[in-house]
Chain A
Amino acid sequence: MGEMQHLTARRMVDLEIDGEPVRVLEGSTILDACRGLGIDTPTLCYGETLRPANVCRVCVVELEGARVLAPACSRKVEPGMKVRTDSERVRHSRKLVLELLSSSVDLSTTPAAAGYLERYGAEPERHGPPAPADPGRDRRRAGHHEEPDGQTAATAASPIKIDNELYVRDYSKCILCYKCVDVCGEQHQNTFAIAVAGRGFDARISTEYVAPLPESACVYCGNCIAVCPTGALMFTSEHELRAEGVWDEARQERTDTICPYCGVGCNLTLHVQDNRIVKVTSPDDHDITRGNLCVKGRFGVQHVNARGR
């Protein structure tokens, strides 16, 4: 009943994007409208299965008459809106956002990053050579920092966290998109093992008092890994293959199947390299899982590769 009312109440909205008239459903975002027009909008913190956090600001667009730019991922369309997605002002902010991120975070395993950096002519090097990892980063106090000399560019680099057998946390690669926190919390998993802690540049993803994962509320569903856009959260299998230099997505086969463990019927996508399952995902658009799995579906594959089998 609610759904019906929802459908009948929805109207079409006319707006203009880059001079082109567009008509989209009321309630759509500017990002949706851009996609309809085939305009490629860069996104990093946006997740198909999550409410937009709109924090990375790489998708910002210019709205005629607005004082500041607006995030395309979350701003809803309004009748008569005039949107510019490639003005000098937009390009400047996107370029700087990419520079600021790239100069402070290791984007080497963020698939889209290299293309974005090139497209916007970002020059992260001009902010200085990256500062070394800080082992004390997890404990920094809000509202205090050492005065810099400016000779290096401060980074989010901190020692990699390997405290369990299933996945690795390398927060040097974290852009703080909030997706892992949102998926772990009330938007999907309701486990609440992690949160954003600290403030400002020292903000980081953390368990309570930086407890190791096995001592935390983590249930190893791995849904945070699934939404992580940067590889900061990574299957141990992928992490190890990358360390050996043999991780190669081009050689991986993807096989869709149904999880055999229980009666829910979650879809699994098995990523297979050299006849070994190296990663398990679930399709975002699957109506049961919406990309999510539990520990069994996500990690319970050792028996497939077991020698004694």
Chain B
Amino acid sequence: MDLRLLEVSPTGAERAAVDGLLGPPASGWDGGERRTGATGNVARGGHRARARRDQLLPVLLAVQERVGWISPGALNYACQRLTVPPADAYGVASFYALLSLEPRPSRVVHVCDDLACRCSGSGALIAELEDRLGPEGAVAEDGGTASAWFRSPCLGQCDRAPAALLTIAGDEPEEHVLAPARGALPGLEGAAVDPVARVPQQGEPGLRLLRRVGRVDPRSLDDYRAHGGYAALRRACELGPEGVIRELVESKLLGRGGAAFPTGRKWDAVARQPARPHYLVCNADESEPGTFKDRVIMEGDPFALVEAMTIAAYATGCAHGYIYLRGEYPQARGLLEHAIAEARRRGYLGEDIVGHGFAFDLEIRRGAGAYICGEETAIFNSIEGFRGEPRNKPPFPVDEGLFGKPTVVNNVETLVNVLDIVLEGGSAYAQIGTDASTGTKLFCVSGHVERPGVYEVPFGSTLGEMLSLAGGVRGGRSLQAVLLGGAAGGFVRPDELDLPLSFEGARAASVTLGSGVVLAFDDTVDLPRMLMRIAAFFRDESCGQCVPCRVGTVRQEEALARLLGGRGRGDELALIAEVGRCMRDASICGLGQTASGAIESAIGRLGVFAGKG
């Protein structure tokens, strides 16, 4: 490819960040020393260089981490190393909220101002930051370090709200989760203590997915094995690939990412594909506002995910797997990286896994601040080094997924369910829960409840039972509404607490379980303001590809703003409904299709704005 590069050079730190990931350049062609003379004058361009396109996002993240922003010189050098056109790379970099194309100070605080944190003091936290660092995005000297703060969508720390993510760029970059981030923001002083994943039900009998969380040492493979780890892989190898899929089909496991597709069917479809290679992708881009269940599993029981993915790869014939992890989960990343390295060292990943003659390895790919990358085809584009825009379906991932090959893509929670299915058999697993929704489900309970956290219950428990588990409404106040399923879900009323939490129960009540969000709002909450936050979220997170979602999310927010400001034209409710219907019907992907759901449910089900518009 004949690229026209920019006439700017990277700084030493920028070059080091890129080379740290890609290794030193081999020739003048890709940015190294030009060697004149007959020997050693080689050019490594062409297909081999272009085949490394999937390293683009990791390289951009490496520069961002080290330097704090992506300068033209850094982008240019990344382009030269990977044979990517600069305009193309700029398009990719500008897609992600955690990457900056303008200079930024080394220390940046991303403060969650999403739904759950708003229930727990994010407003006060933001006021404190404004006081200390000035307005959002402004550069301030703070304790001798240039700093800035930005608002962020949900950081997935809703059980310890309010949350912030602190990033410090440098030769040894740091990332810390500050949760709860109260008082004098201790993390800013450099004394951040990264919190440990805990679940309120810890140690209770009957836990399955959460049984090890808080009890096992997440950094010890031996401890994992002492708690029953890697028994499922052994059993899977006895069953054989077809046997594993048979058990999975019998278990009637449905995907936990929100779409509830039968996992067994998905695996079977990929296993049967003659095209090779097959890929396995674990969707750990958990970004639905109010969702933190996958983080708790990854931080509390990381080896379980590695084992489950190994079984998935064995059953579906994948030699390579990816965990696409949201960029805002530094702790999960550290623990998973350690778990993968340990598993590899001990022969649980690699060429000849536990002597069974099958090969599988996996790697983590970090997101960079884009909710849309949790969409099952946007995730492929993001891994491949393109903008995280969803693809049109068909073709479906089982036919043409990552790199155009048959791909299994499953959510973290879905995968971890596989361990028990393999161990105890599909039919035994199917006894748990309801007929149509088998097994247990993780619910992310947050907002105005006494004990927010991830709770595991069999399908069919009621919403009321869920709230009781979490200790009911905080401070004995009364419940105003529950947001079920996240921003892409919908609201339910306090008189609907007998709603059975199963896929069929939710469907019958015209709601969705989505990613398992149960966000409680007490009677002090200004619900219309929360609706504005949801509308702003979808506007910010739309990829911008298709018209219904790109413009529809904007018109929806504007109509809401008129209603909130009391300066409506009288047709706002009709407009919201009409725009919503178009987004639902004509958008490319699930983001647009669900972008009006919560808002319309608040209007229709809760009667917010009754008598207006």
B541 touches A126 (CB 8 A): no
Is A149's CB within 8 Å of the partner chain B? yes
Residues of A with C-beta under 8 A to B552: 96, 100
Q: Output the least CB separation between B20 and chain A (Å).
A: 23
A192 touches B586 (CB 8 A): no
Q: Output the least CB separation between A59 and chain B (Å).
A: 10
B555 touches A199 (CB 8 A): no
A199 touches B547 (CB 8 A): no
A201 to B535, CA, bound (A): 13
Q: Which of B585-603 contact A (CB under 8 A)?
A: 585-588, 593
* Known contacts A147-B561, A192-B85; A57/B392 CB under 8 A: no
- In the complex formed, the residue of A with least CB distance to B389 is A196
A72 to B578, CA, bound (A): 22
Residues of A with C-beta under 8 A to B550: 176, 200-201, 203
Of B37-45, B87-95, B207-215, B461-469, the one touching chain A:
B87-95
A143 touches B88 (CB 8 A): no
A145 touches B586 (CB 8 A): no
Interface centre among A74, A150, A206 (most CB of B within 10 A): A150
Q: Output the least CB separation between A156 and chain B (Å).
A: 9
Is B531's CB within 8 Å of the partner chain A? no
Q: Output the least CB separation between A164 and chain B (Å).
A: 15
* Known contacts A96-B578, A199-B543, A217-B85; A141/B97 CB under 8 A: yes
Which of A68, A103, A141, A217 is within 8 Å of B551, CB to CB? A103
B588 touches A54 (CB 8 A): yes
A interface footprint on B564-588 (CB within 8 Å = 1, 0 otherwise): 0101010100010011011011111
B544 touches A176 (CB 8 A): yes
A54 touches B392 (CB 8 A): yes
Q: Output the least CB separation between B409 and chain A (Å).
A: 19
Is A232's CB within 8 Å of the partner chain B? no
B85 touches A71 (CB 8 A): no
Residues of A with C-beta under 8 A to B75: 208-209
Q: Output the least CB separation between A126 and chain B (Å).
A: 7
A84 to B584, CA, bound (A): 18
Is B72's CB within 8 Å of the partner chain A? yes
A208 touches B87 (CB 8 A): yes
Residues of A with C-beta under 8 A to B557: 148, 150
Is A197's CB within 8 Å of the partner chain B? yes
Residues of A with C-beta under 8 A to B3: 192, 217
Is B558's CB within 8 Å of the partner chain A? yes
B153 touches A143 (CB 8 A): yes
- In the complex formed, the residue of B with least CB distance to A128 is B558
A145 touches B536 (CB 8 A): yes
* Known contacts A93-B585, A100-B552, A100-B555; A209/B101 CB under 8 A: yes
Residues of B with C-beta under 8 A to A277: none
A197 to B536, CA, bound (A): 20
Is B562's CB within 8 Å of the partner chain A? yes
Is A198's CB within 8 Å of the partner chain B? yes
Is A104's CB within 8 Å of the partner chain B? yes
A96 touches B90 (CB 8 A): no
Residues of A with C-beta under 8 A to B95: 142, 197-199
B558 touches A148 (CB 8 A): yes
Q: Which of A173-216 contact B (CB under 8 A)?
A: 175-176, 185, 190, 192-203, 206-209, 211, 216
Which of B1, B6, B546, B565 is within 8 Å of A208, CB to CB? B6
Is A139's CB within 8 Å of the partner chain B? yes
* Known contacts A101-B551, A143-B369, A206-B87; A201/B558 CB under 8 A: no
Is A33's CB within 8 Å of the partner chain B? no
Q: Output the least CB separation between B507 and chain A (Å).
A: 13
Is A89's CB within 8 Å of the partner chain B? yes
Interface centre among A143, A154, A202 (most CB of B within 10 A): A143
Is A77's CB within 8 Å of the partner chain B? no
Residues of B with C-beta under 8 A to A104: 551, 554
B151 touches A144 (CB 8 A): yes
A195 to B92, CA, bound (A): 9
A150 touches B547 (CB 8 A): no
Residues of B with C-beta under 8 A to A128: 558, 569
A126 to B571, CA, bound (A): 9
Is B332's CB within 8 Å of the partner chain A? no
* Known contacts A55-B546, A200-B544; A208/B582 CB under 8 A: no
Which of B94, B565, B585 is within 8 Å of A92, CB to CB? B585
Is B542's CB within 8 Å of the partner chain A? yes
Residues of B with C-beta under 8 A to A69: 585-586
A197 touches B542 (CB 8 A): no
A151 touches B582 (CB 8 A): no
A141 to B99, CA, bound (A): 9
A200 touches B541 (CB 8 A): yes
A118 to B124, CA, bound (A): 51
- In the complex formed, the residue of A with least CB distance to B532 is A147
A198 touches B544 (CB 8 A): yes
Is A113's CB within 8 Å of the partner chain B? no
Residues of A with C-beta under 8 A to B565: 149-150
- In the complex formed, the residue of B with least CB distance to A58 is B547
Residues of A with C-beta under 8 A to B586: 57, 60, 68-69, 93, 96-97
Residues of A with C-beta under 8 A to B86: 208, 217
Interface centre among A139, A175, A196, A211 (most CB of B within 10 A): A196
- In the complex formed, the residue of A with least CB distance to B91 is A195
Is A153's CB within 8 Å of the partner chain B? yes
Is A56's CB within 8 Å of the partner chain B? yes
A208 touches B72 (CB 8 A): yes
A97 touches B94 (CB 8 A): no
Is A127's CB within 8 Å of the partner chain B? yes
Is B560's CB within 8 Å of the partner chain A? yes
B94 touches A142 (CB 8 A): yes
A281 to B75, CA, bound (A): 35
20 A-B pairs with C-beta separation under 8 A: A55-B588, A57-B587, A92-B585, A97-B548, A100-B555, A104-B554, A127-B558, A142-B94, A142-B540, A145-B540, A148-B554, A151-B567, A195-B87, A195-B91, A199-B543, A200-B550, A200-B553, A201-B544, A208-B90, A209-B72
Q: Across the A-B interface, give the 4 residue pairs with the lowest CB-CB distance, nearest first.
A: A203-B544, A195-B91, A143-B97, A192-B85
Q: Which residues of A contact B (CB under 8 A)?
A: 54-58, 60, 68-69, 71, 74, 76, 89, 92-93, 96-97, 100-101, 103-104, 126-128, 139, 141-145, 147-151, 153-154, 175-176, 185, 190, 192-203, 206-209, 211, 216-217
Question: Other than the known A144-B97, A144-B150, A206-B91, what 5 A-B pairs have Cβ atoms closer than 8 Å?
Answer: A68-B587, A150-B559, A195-B87, A201-B539, A208-B89
